[in-house]
């Protein structure tokens, strides 16, 4: 029994070896050179069953290289309104949340004492103006008498001194009136800038003081700024963008998914040594009030444009032992593994080198492929590409890894967080 088993194994080995030799011999006869193990494997894959896949075309388009960071919305002007004198609120002229213009009345304070001071200064001015007029008449009469030799030059000089001193007193009175009017103006508090009024912290009858809490805060909402931080290595990119006119800054609002376009306005003059970042600020038109002070948004700053880049879905890229590859479908309907280099990745797409625009690459079904596998392209549903890209976004960390710039292209893909 054991002898029959050994004989069966030997026969099977001979049959397999002979078949392999005949296949190798046939390829030697056809090409004149021995077939490589990879070619034999490819032939085996080609002779296997076809794999159903979906494909997409490699696109050619301009790709903006973005620096991405988390920013905080900041008002360009935000003023805490406080009184300059201690007094009592007599009237509140605004409502909470109201939009005001610069110069609009906000609060009225008790002005009785200051009004009295103005009236008193005006009365003193009238008195001293009358004294000045009398001194000027005395001087005119003394000048006539001096011409007739009735008085001496000393008498004229005395009258002239009286006129000059009276004029100085009148000027002092006018200054006193101006000072009293300044004090009176403190009782009428107006908006120092245009913006939206916040919470009102006082009511008629409230006693207010310069060192107390703010009466209200006026915040400008349009235009508005977003501050964020960039790594020190991207400082030159930010400065170049600022010098060229501010570039294009995109703010992505997390809750609604809406985007807004703005311009870079400011790059700080010092790098924070503790974090190795530099503070940057962009300005946005905000008529729709979608950006609110204190909110967090995702900022994307375009610093470079890759012209005519080959763009593929990120989900189509496979991380193999030899690097990143995609499966290209050739004219014969076979899957060919093609090495690619990721130049820049953003969202669900990646700009790569190694494939040409217009080539078909496998998107769905790539996990079942081997080099040389015959593929059958199935009709993709309308939402197949987005679904594939969503799957790619979920598996990007495992199949592609972190996207890094290609050294030759100078492309940048950066994700930072605000300090």
CB within 8 Å of 416: residues ≥ 6 apart:
67, 68, 69, 70, 228, 229, 230, 231, 277
DSSP string, 348-390: TEEEEESS-TT-EEEEESGGG--TT-BEEEPPPPTTHHHHHHH
User: From first to last of its 419 residues, what are the pLDDT tens digits of the chain?
Assistant: 444 545 555 445 444 454 444 444 444 443 444 444 444 445 445 556 788 899 999 999 988 888 889 999 999 999 999 999 999 999 999 999 999 999 999 999 999 999 999 999 999 999 999 999 999 999 999 998 888 888 888 888 999 999 999 999 999 999 999 999 999 999 999 999 999 999 998 999 999 999 989 999 999 999 999 999 999 988 888 898 888 888 889 999 888 888 999 999 999 999 999 999 999 999 999 998 899 999 999 998 887 788 899 999 999 999 988 899 999 999 888 999 999 999 888 878 999 999 999 999 999 988 888 888 898 887 655 544 443 344 443 333 333 333 333 333 333 333 433 33
Residues 6 or more apart whose CB falls under 8 angstroms from that of 274 comprise none
Q: How far is 243 from 387, CA to CA, in rounded Å?
A: 41
User: What φ, ψ does residue 359 adopt, rounded to 5°?
Assistant: -70, 150
The rounded distance, in Å, linking the Cα atoms of 195 and 319 is 53
Exposed / middle / buried, residue 9 (Cβ in 10 Å: 0-12, 13-18, 19+):
exposed
Cβ proximity of 375 and 335 under 8 Å:
yes
Q: How far apart are CA 273 and CA 64, in angstroms?
A: 30
* pLDDT (0 to 100) of residue 209: 93
Cα 66 to Cα 221, 233, 271, 411, 413: the distances in Å are: 26, 14, 21, 9, 6
Count the neighbouring beta carbons within 10 Å of the beta carbon of residue 235.
Answer: 16
What is the Cα–Cα distance from 388 to 302, expressed in whole angstroms? 27
Structure token digits, residue 99: 């939009």
The full DSSP string for 303-327 is: EEEEEEEEEEEGGG-EEETTEEEEE
Rg (CA), the chain: 43
In angstroms, the Cα distances linking 132 to 118, 137, 141 are: 21, 9, 14
For tokens 């600022």, what's the residue?
242
Q: How far apart are CA 53 and CA 381, in angstroms?
A: 12
In 3D, which of 409, 396, 377 has the Cα closest to residue 53? 377
Burial class (CB in 10 A: 0-12, 13-18, 19+), 301: buried
Q: Which residues of 395-411 are buried (b: 16+ CB within 10 A; e: fewer)?
A: ebeebbeebebbeebeb
Q: Can you list the domains of the chain with their CATH numbers?
A: 59-73+221-415 (2.40.30.170), 111-186 (1.10.287)
Positive or negative: CA dihedral 352, 353, 358, 359? negative
For residue 263, the tally of other CB atoms under 10 A from its CB is 16
Nearest-10 crossing angle of helices 153-185, 112-147: 170
Measured between alpha carbons, how far is 240 from 70 in angstroms, rounded to an integer?
21
Task: Specify the pTM.
Answer: 0.58
Residue 308 contacts residue 60 (beta carbons within 8 Å): yes
Write down the pLDDT at residue 405: 38
Residue 127: in which H helix or E strand, if any? helix 112-147
**β-strand pairing of 296-313 with 249-252:** antiparallel
Residue with tokens 């011409």: 147
């Amino acid at each position: 029994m054991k002898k029959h088993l050994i004989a069966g194994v030997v026969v099977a080995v001979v049959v397999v070896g002979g078949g392999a030799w005949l296949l190798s011999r046939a390829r030697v006869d056809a090409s004149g050179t021995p077939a490589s193990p990879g070619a034999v494997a490819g032939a085996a894959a080609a002779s296997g069953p076809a794999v159903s896949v979906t494909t997409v075309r490699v696109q050619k388009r301009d790709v903006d290289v973005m620096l991405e960071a988390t920013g905080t919305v900041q008002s360009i002007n935000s003023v805490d309104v406080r009184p300059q004198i201690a007094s009592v609120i007599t009237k509140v002229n605004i409502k909470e949340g109201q939009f005001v213009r610069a110069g609009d009345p906000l609060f009225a304070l008790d002005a009785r004492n200051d009004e009295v001071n103005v009236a008193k200064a005006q009365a003193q001015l009238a008195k001293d103006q009358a004294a000045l007029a009398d001194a000027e008449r005395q001087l005119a009469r003394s000048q006539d008498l001096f011409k007739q030799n009735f008085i001496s030059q000393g008498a004229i000089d005395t009258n002239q001194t009286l006129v000059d001193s009276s004029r100085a007193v009148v000027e002092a009175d006018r200054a006193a009136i101006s000072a009293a009017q300044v004090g009176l103006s403190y009782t009428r508090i107006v908006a120092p800038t245009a913006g939206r009024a916040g919470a009102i912290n006082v009511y008629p009858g409230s006693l207010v003081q310069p060192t107390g809490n703010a009466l209200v805060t006026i915040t400008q909402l349009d235009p508005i700024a977003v501050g964020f931080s960039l790594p020190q290595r991207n400082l030159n990119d930010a400065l170049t963008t600022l010098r060229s006119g501010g570039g294009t800054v995109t703010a992505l609002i997390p809750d609604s998914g809406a985007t807004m376009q703005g311009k870079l306005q400011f790059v700080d003059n010092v790098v924070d040594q503790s974090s190795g970042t530099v503070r940057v600020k962009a300005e946005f038109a905000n008529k729709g009030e979608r950006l609110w002070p204190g909110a967090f948004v995702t900022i994307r700053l375009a610093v470079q444009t890759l012209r005519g880049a080959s763009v593929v879905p990120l989900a189509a890229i496979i991380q193999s032992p030899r690097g990143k590859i995609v499966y290209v479908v050739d004219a014969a309907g076979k899957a060919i593994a093609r090495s690619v280099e990721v130049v820049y990745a953003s969202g669900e797409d990646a700009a790569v080198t190694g494939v040409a625009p217009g080539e078909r690459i496998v998107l769905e079904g790539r996990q079942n492929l081997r080099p040389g596998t015959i593929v059958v392209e199935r009709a993709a549903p309308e939402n197949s590409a987005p679904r594939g890209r969503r799957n790619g976004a979920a598996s990007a960390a495992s199949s592609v890894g972190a996207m890094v710039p290609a050294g030759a292209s100078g492309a940048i893909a950066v994700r930072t967080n605000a300090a």
